[in-house]
Structure 1
Amino acid sequence: MADRLGEIMKKTLLAIETGKEEIFHIAETSRTETQRLTQELAQLRMDISETIKKVDQLHKLDRKMRQHLMEVSRDFKSYSEKEMIESYENAKETQVQLQLYEAKEYQIRARRDEIERSLRQMMVTIERAENLMSQISLAINLLQSGINEMTQDQNLEKQQEVALRIIMAQEEERRRVAREIHDGPAQNLANIVLRLEITEKLLELDPKQAKIELQDLKTLVRSNLQDIRRIIFDLRPMALDDLGIIPSLRRYMDNFQSTYKIECEFIVQGREKRLLPAMEVAIFRLIQEAMTNVAKHAHSEKVKIELSFEEDITIARIIDFGQGFDFNAVLENPGEHFGLIGMKERVEMFSGQFSIISPTGVGTTIELSIPYKKEENLE
């Protein structure tokens, strides 16, 4: 029976992985189509602008031709037959041109509106595909975990619960990084490509404006590079390996203060120690998660971070001066505060202590303490 169930789970896993590839293909196709439509939309907007100018010119010319035709009709004795015919034909030709350009303007506007609707639908499709891929990834991980447990003949409920929480945390982190890249560098790069194509056309029509556009693009590229470096730093601060946790935290707080306009005060107490890499990463991530919560929920203008190196323990405190919240209610119903639960579990994995003091309207103090063995001290 177990073998049969294992075989079914493997086939199910294969089918889900195939479906995930199809969804990924749909998302990538939608992104490509979105980029194409965005380029077409930019061109249409330029065409609309030029057509509107032409229609305005033809309206003025039409009024002039009509006025001249009325003068010819009133004083026809003063004009030759040839002049009268020419005046009529010019007025008629102007009317025809005006009607043609008005029809062109209507068609371009209709196409523009259609593309804008398609772009909105594409964005919804991409978002749904990304969410679905995340859910499928979670399902795949769960199935793989289940298959491994059956293979190893393990069926411990606690291990399954911890594994599920780890998987959910990993998927949430992947979604966060994907959203950050999609909303930041990916969008900016698509915009840069589009504006470069427009600048190519401007080089022939208006070199001066093209030069201004290139200067703006240079600024945008530099800003995009800063965003990419920040994302890389958030994923794995390279300074953490080379210099340790203090320089890494100082750099993170500089970025945090610049991004969220929240004043950061960093206090180090005791003699700094180089901890085991896993502990340094854990402390950095815990402080990072706490700071993210401050930015999202605290409504505080300042945050204070204290890091204390004691004889056999490292203590970190993150103190904000915002609105506070009921932590007991969060424990009973985590909802969107899964990050706090994850912080508590991560601290407990290192045999540490985690506490939150958060009186409503006063602010929040998060304290975590992680012990280390003497042989682990890397001074």
Structure 2
Amino acid sequence: MSAGMNKNKPLDIRRLDKIIDNMVENVSSSKKQIFEIGEESRKEFDTVTKELRFVRKELEEVIKRSDRLEIEARKSRGRLADISKDFKRYGEEDIRKAYEQANHIQNGLSVVREMEKQLKLRRNGLERRMVQLEATIKKADKLTGQVTVVLNYLTSDLKQVGDVVASAREQRALGMKIIEALEEERKRLSREIHDGPAQTLAQVLLGLEIVERVSKREGEEAAREELNKYRSMVQGALAEVRRIIYDLRPMSLDDLGLVPTLKKYLHRLNGDFPSVAVSFKSIGDELRLQSRIESALFRLTQEAVQNACIHAKPNHVKIRLEYRKDQVIILVKDDGIGFDQTKKKEGSYGLIGMRERTELLNGELTIHSEPNHGTSVLVHIPIQPEDKLGK
């Protein structure tokens, strides 16, 4: 009887919310701690890298000194051997000086060898520490990403997905997929900034110290030349940051529309891939659509074109955008190396993302490719009256 009552007992929503709030608080705290560990490891890694660079340079100098002293020691031993064979030819003062010199060189060699030994031990220790720190950083980054997925799932994303998906099982699956895709995009952007502008700015920061030393040692003219080099690096980093911002969302998309934005993007692409002839054709009267639709159409075209230029090794890439009364059609075709569609390729996140974008717009994505016969990507996106903006 009691079992039946418990079974039919209504769910206490407030209690459930409290449990979730406690979980969110604990997970947030864990994420913060993991992030701090990662940041501290990165700082120590940078410090160890600088120290290792200094130790390696010092060790190189010590090895050179050791080699020079070894040569001098061999010469002094040879002179002592000559003296011992014929004492009569040498005076007492010459013999004393030869022995003192040999002893002095040998002592110096012993000191230098001990320095070399200690520096090698220090170098090896630093290298081992770098390996440990790299492993810690990777693990911290991985854990941070995983915790972020859980945290987002526990907060807003789960509720937003719940409005769309009826089944609890489908809700969890779709929610996790969307969050993982977002997290993958954040990681990609983070890597792009870290490997590009961040690295350049770090080099410039180190370079400014070099400029200061060059100025003192070689004068202002040499320092000015060195500064010009780092000025160019900063300009390159600025251009890279602007490119990343543009890739996140071109501002011209809202102001000018899809066709002008695509033309601008493809013009820039010609500079990035000068060996690829890229052509674009727009058919029909351009429709101004809702921002989310135009953004998705731009991303679909961008992903297809980038895949072609980067992976297909084509001579030509043709893009056709067609506006019809009730749909928009995108065709991206290249004459590159193609691929075997029957073989699944691990990590094809670009194609997965394109399929997901198309499905979210209730569209259809068709890909046709054969080895050595190029690839064509065809996208159909239906347009409803409410999707169109007034002129």
TM over 0.5: same fold? yes
Q: Deviations over 1:334-356 (max 9, x none)?
A: 96345434433433433434333
Q: Greater relative contact order: 1 or 2 (C-alpha under 8 angstroms, separation 6 or more)?
A: 1
Helix, strand or coil: the match of 2:155?
Answer: helix
Distance 1:35 1:165 in 2: 35
Closer/same/farther in 2, CA of residues 119 and 201 from structure 1, 3 Å limit: farther
Report the alpha carbon displacement of residue 119 of structure 1 after superposing the two structures with TM: 2.0
Letter in 2 for 1:276: Q
2:266 pairs with 1:237: no
Partner of 1:46: 57
Report the alpha carbon displacement of residue 20 of structure 1 after superposing the two structures with TM: 0.7
Q: Deviations over 1:246-272 (max 9, x none)?
A: 343234334445546644322222344
Report the alpha carbon displacement of residue 50 of structure 1 after superposing the two structures with TM: 2.1
Partner of 1:317: 331
2:313 pairs with 1:304: no
Using the size of structure 1 for normalisation, the TM-score is 0.83
Pick the aligned partner of 1:364 from 360, 365, 375: 375
Pick the aligned partner of 2:184 from 152, 163, 172: 172
C-alpha contact (below 8 Å) 2:158/2:175 kept by paired residues:
no
Helix, strand or coil: the match of 1:278?
Answer: helix
Distance 1:225 1:149 in 2: 37
Q: Deviations over 1:14-69 (max 9, x none)?
A: 21111111110111011101111111122123212322332233233323333443
Distance 1:175 1:309 in 2: 35
Distance 2:105 2:289 in 1: 83
Pick the aligned partner of 1:186 from 187, 198, 217: 198
Partner of 1:249: 262
Pick the aligned partner of 1:115 from 126, 142, 145: 126
Pick the aligned partner of 1:326 from 319, 336, 341: 341
Pick the aligned partner of 1:350 from 357, 361, 370: 361
2:139 pairs with 1:139: no
Partner of 2:292: 278
Report the alpha carbon displacement of residue 203 of structure 1 after superposing the two structures with TM: 4.7
Closer/same/farther in 2, CA of residues 5 and 301 from structure 1, 3 Å limit: farther
Distance 1:271 1:175 in 2: 38
C-alpha contact (below 8 Å) 1:6/1:147 kept by paired residues:
no
Helix, strand or coil: the match of 2:347?
Answer: coil
Distance 1:51 1:203 in 2: 28
Pick the aligned partner of 1:57 from 68, 86, 98: 68
Closer/same/farther in 2, CA of residues 253 and 127 from structure 1, 3 Å limit: farther
C-alpha contact (below 8 Å) 1:265/1:304 kept by paired residues:
yes
Distance 1:221 1:141 in 2: 36
Distance 1:341 1:311 in 2: 28
Distance 1:114 1:254 in 2: 51
Segments of 5+ residues of structure 2 without an aligned counterpart are: 1-10
Question: Among the aligned pairs, what percent are the same residue?
Answer: 36
Letter in 2 for 1:252: Y
C-alpha contact (below 8 Å) 1:269/1:307 kept by paired residues:
yes
Distance 1:287 1:259 in 2: 17
Distance 1:313 1:258 in 2: 32
Distance 1:221 1:174 in 2: 24
Moved more, 127-136 or 224-233: 224-233
Helix, strand or coil: the match of 1:303?
Answer: strand
Letter in 1 for 2:181: A
2:111 pairs with 1:100: yes
Moved more, 364-373 or 174-183: 364-373
Report the alpha carbon displacement of residue 169 of structure 1 after superposing the two structures with TM: 1.8
C-alpha contact (below 8 Å) 1:276/1:378 kept by paired residues:
no
Partner of 2:234: 221
Distance 1:140 1:375 in 2: 33
